[in-house]
Amino acid sequence: MVDRLKNWARTIKRDVRALYSAIRAPRVPWYAKALGIIIVGYALSPIDLIPDFIPILGYLDDVILVPLGVLIVVRMIPPAVMAEHRALALAAQDRPVSLVAAGVVIVVWIVSLALCAWLAYGYFSPRPGP
């Protein structure tokens, strides 16, 4: 059962990536592009319709709404176009990850947080009186 759920989650993830590239294809109907933008935006957005900290209901939108939306948009896109973009998404999934780029992003975040802390300390620290 767990393997089936993992495989299903990988399929949804692959289809979201495939939809992301398919909505920019000229052979996809405009209505599929419009709904695809909404679904992909919602799937990749950190903002949820129902916040995740709400027990059970918080993850319900991720488990039901996203897969249902992906399924609807996939059915709107011509099968040949979707197969092409699924292959592209699968190839992109197997690409190596750049550890240097990840390191640069982490360093930028650390420097930004340090700068914010330094500015906040300077702003909120007590100043000697006259």
Tens digits of residue pLDDT in 52-105: 777 777 777 778 888 898 899 999 999 999 999 999 888 887 777 788 888 898
Residue 124 placed within a domain: no
Residue 106 placed within a domain: no
- pTM of the model as a whole: 0.62
- B/e letters for 110-127, b = 16+ CB within 10 Å, e = fewer, are eeeeeeeeeeeeeeeeee
Residue 115 placed within a domain: no
Residue 126 placed within a domain: no
Which pLDDT score, from 0 to 100, does residue 129 have? 63
Residue 104 placed within a domain: no
Residue 45 placed within a domain: yes
Q: Which domain holds residue 64?
A: 2-96
Which pLDDT score, from 0 to 100, does residue 75 have? 92
Residue 46 placed within a domain: yes
CA torsion 25-26-27-30 (nearest 10°) is: 100
Residue 121 placed within a domain: no
Q: Give pLDDT tens digits for 17-55.
A: 888 888 888 999 999 999 999 988 887 777 777 777 777
How many structural domains are present in the chain?
A: 1
Is pLDDT larger for residue 2 or for residue 30? Answer: 30
